[in-house]
């Protein structure tokens, strides 16, 4: 008997076209159904419709939507409150936004228990501790008084899972539960959800755009595109023999293949030697001593001209700090050489001519593009500093050329960032970096917020630009599949140190360090928890 059944669900906002159109899904006890698709396909709207968490302007209709025999469409608000966080648990995509920053871990979990169970204060605390242990958080007593900002991303997500499990649900909805988490943390979170599914007989709805995760964790799959289910069935069958063109498109977008072969005869473009960055941590001690944190600890690295150096490691390993030090945007110690010239002794003015030769593309284009400037102004801004000899017409011509080079129409230079999709905004960020014709491009998690198919497009664009212009890249990411697909050389970082480095394929084929093996196993594990 199914736990949750949806027949022909449709959702529209106002008088617009349906964003969810005739969707039918069935959740079975002890099984995980993965709802996959790109951003804007209607996945989250479908999930939020189940518990009527949509805004007032949403119009929801369905032939039926039943949970354990109850018609969800006719439930009163009070009855729905009994289901939300009770019999139906939900894990939201971004725990830092979903958790109250003013409440401790204990209070946030206790509130849900108080609403549904009404236990005594002592019994509630014991229940909270038991839940934190269930989601495998070590020393749960030490976490009770902490606030969300005092937890790591993985810890926050486990607290969210504990809240979702607080009242013994029979259905668990997980909306992109591992987005932006490190590969090892992703594996830990999904292993936990899978174990809970099996131990508690949960029916799980997993919303994701990562087909690699789906193949390893979900028994069933439904593929969503433009508000419609285009294909569904057993995961192993759909993944091995997809019937829909869109499913084949998603599978083709998964990074794969062998990395490019490094050429030891190419000239060295960038070199760092014993590069160190220390940050002051906390106030001075009682005796006036400062406490320091080693963010980058003696890193030697090398980038050959026209090649890509991949830098991988978990959050806090020092990847982005290394990049900022190379760009001379933060203070550092050690040698930084570009084409044999030492950059580390140069002052701010002396560095100015070198900045046009080294550019950076950041992780979140939405946060780095000025919303009050047109795309043309954003891309052309660097020319005003480094090419003051150009007039406005000449700058506009170069902006138009660069837009076309990254695959966007030149006529779009008068649009604003909010008029572009995530992938288009990242192309704008790349155009802004390339308009100065740099020789070295540092890409700091440039695709982490994008769908797999858009990641694939950006990756192909970067390969094409590198081939045409002989660019050197430093590609920073926690996504080992992407790094393997583009990088000639690889550096594995942990706690500020370069644990392992060398040709990418050699490291993936025969990693020398246990930590590297852990990262690779988490990213490329082929285990499938269930075959249907």
Delineate the domains of the chain, giving CATH numbers in brackets. Answer: 1-87+170-251 (3.40.50.300), 96-166 (no CATH), 268-357+439-524 (3.40.50.300), 371-437 (no CATH)
CA dist., res. 49 & res. 46, Å (int): 5
* pLDDT at residue 531 in the model: 44
**Coil, helix or strand for 73?**
helix
**Coil, helix or strand for 2?**
coil
Q: Could you tell me the two tokens for 98? A: 């979903």
At how many degrees (to 10) do helices 153-165 and 121-134 cross? 120
Q: Counting every residue, how long is the chain?
A: 532
The H or E element containing residue 270 is: strand 268-280
SS (H, E, C) 352-410: HHHHCCEEEECCCHHHHCCCCCCHHHHHHHHHHHHCCCCCHHHHHHHHHHHHHHCCCCH
CA dist., res. 171 & res. 196, Å (int): 11
**Coil, helix or strand for 447?**
coil
Task: Tell me which residue has tokens 């725990």.
Answer: 95
Question: Which of 341, 429, 431, 433 shows the shortest CA–CA distance to 386?
Answer: 433
- Count the neighbouring beta carbons within 10 Å of the beta carbon of residue 195: 13
Question: Which of 234, 215, 235, 231 shows the shortest CA–CA distance to 223?
Answer: 231
CA dist., res. 299 & res. 13, Å (int): 53
* pLDDT at residue 289 in the model: 63
Under-70 pLDDT residues of the chain: 180, 257, 281-291, 449, 525-532
pLDDT in tens, 442-452: 999 888 767 78
Question: Which of 469, 444, 442, 440 shows the shortest CA–CA distance to 341?
Answer: 440
Strands 220-225 and 32-36: parallel
- Count the neighbouring beta carbons within 10 Å of the beta carbon of residue 296: 29
Partnered with residue 233 across adjacent β-strands are 221
Partnered with residue 64 across adjacent β-strands are 7
Question: Which of 278, 291, 336 shows the shortest CA–CA distance to 496?
Answer: 278
* pLDDT at residue 302 in the model: 95
Q: Is 301 within 8 Å of 479 (Cβ atoms)? A: no
Which residues, in sequence order, are CB contacts of 177 under 8 Å at separation 6+?
A: 91, 93, 157, 160, 161, 189, 190, 193, 206
CA dist., res. 52 & res. 376, Å (int): 42
Q: Is 426 within 8 Å of 365 (Cβ atoms)? A: yes
Give the CA-trace dihedral at 161, 165, 170, 172, to 10 degrees. Answer: -20
Q: Is 116 within 8 Å of 84 (Cβ atoms)? A: no
**Coil, helix or strand for 238?**
helix
Sign of CA dihedral 113, 114, 117, 118: positive
Partnered with residue 89 across adjacent β-strands are 172
Q: Is 361 within 8 Å of 443 (Cβ atoms)? A: yes
DSSP letter at 15 equals T
Strand segments (E) across 19-131: 20-27, 32-36, 58-61, 64-67, 70-71, 88-91
Taking the CA of residue 127 as centre, how many other CA atoms within 13 Å lie in the half-sphere pointing to its CB?
22
Strand segments (E) across 152-264: 171-175, 203-208, 220-225, 228-234
Q: What is the pTM of this model?
A: 0.80
Task: Tell me which residue has tokens 């090398």.
Answer: 302
DSSP letter at 226 equals T
Strand segments (E) across 189-253: 203-208, 220-225, 228-234
């Amino acid at each position: 008997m199914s736990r949750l059944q949806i027949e022909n669900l449709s959702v529209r906002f106002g008088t617009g076209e349906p964003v969810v159109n005739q969707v039918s899904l069935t959740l079975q006890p002890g099984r995980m159904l993965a709802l996959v698709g790109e951003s804007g396909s209607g996945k989250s709207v479908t999930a939020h419709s189940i518990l009527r968490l949509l805004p007032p302007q949403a119009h929801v209709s369905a032939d039926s939507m039943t949970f354990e025999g109850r018609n969800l469409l006719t439930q009163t608000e009070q009855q729905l409150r009994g289901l939300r966080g009770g019999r139906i648990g939900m894990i939201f995509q971004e725990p830092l936004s979903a958790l109250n920053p003013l409440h401790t871990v204990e209070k946030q979990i206790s509130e849900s228990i108080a609403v549904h169970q009404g236990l005594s204060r002592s019994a509630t605390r014991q229940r909270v501790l038991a839940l934190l242990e269930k989601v495998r958080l070590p020393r749960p007593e030490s976490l009770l008084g902490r606030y969300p900002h005092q937890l790591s991303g993985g810890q926050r997500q486990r607290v969210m899972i504990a809240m979702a499990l607080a009242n013994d649900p029979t259905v668990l909805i997980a909306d992109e539960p591992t987005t932006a988490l490190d590969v090892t943390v992703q594996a830990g979170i999904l292993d936990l959800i899978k174990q809970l599914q099996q131990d508690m007989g949960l029916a799980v709805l997993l919303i994701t755009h990562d087909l690699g995760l789906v193949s390893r964790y979900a028994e069933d799959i439904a593929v969503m595109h433009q508000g419609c289910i285009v294909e569904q069935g057993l995961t192993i069958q759909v993944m091995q023999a997809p019937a829909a063109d869109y499913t084949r498109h998603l599978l083709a977008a998964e990074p794969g293949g062998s990395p490019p072969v490094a050429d030891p005869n190419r000239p060295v473009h960038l070199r760092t030697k014993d590069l160190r960055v220390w940050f002051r941590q906390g106030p001075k001690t009682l005796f006036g001593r400062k406490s320091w944190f080693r963010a980058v600890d003696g890193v030697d690295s090398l980038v050959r001209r026209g090649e890509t150096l991949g830098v991988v490691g978990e959050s806090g390993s020092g990847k982005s700090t290394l990049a900022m030090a190379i760009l001379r945007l933060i203070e550092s110690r050690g040698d930084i050489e570009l084409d044999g010239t030492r950059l580390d002794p140069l002052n701010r003015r002396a560095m100015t001519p070198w900045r046009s030769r080294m550019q950076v593309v950041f992780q979140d284009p939405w946060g780095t593009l000025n919303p009050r400037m047109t795309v043309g102004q954003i891309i052309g801004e660097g020319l005003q500093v480094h090419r003051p000899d150009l007039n406005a017409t000449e700058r506009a011509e170069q902006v138009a050329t660069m837009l076309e080079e990254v695959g966007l129409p030149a006529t779009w230079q008068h649009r604003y960032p909010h008029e572009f999709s995530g992938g288009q905004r990242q192309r704008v960020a790349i155009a802004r970096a390339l308009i100065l014709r740099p020789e070295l491009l540092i890409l700091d998690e440039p695709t982490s917020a994008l769908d797999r198919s858009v990641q694939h497009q950006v990756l192909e664009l970067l390969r094409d630009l590198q081939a045409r212009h002989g660019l050197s890249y430093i590609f920073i990411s926690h996504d080992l599949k992407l790094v393997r697909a583009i990088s000639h050389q690889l550096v594995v970082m942990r706690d500020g140190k370069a644990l392992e480095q060398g040709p990418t394929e050699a490291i993936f084929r025969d990693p020398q360090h246990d930590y590297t093996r852990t990262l690779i196993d988490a990213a490329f594990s082929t285990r499938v928890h269930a075959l249907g």
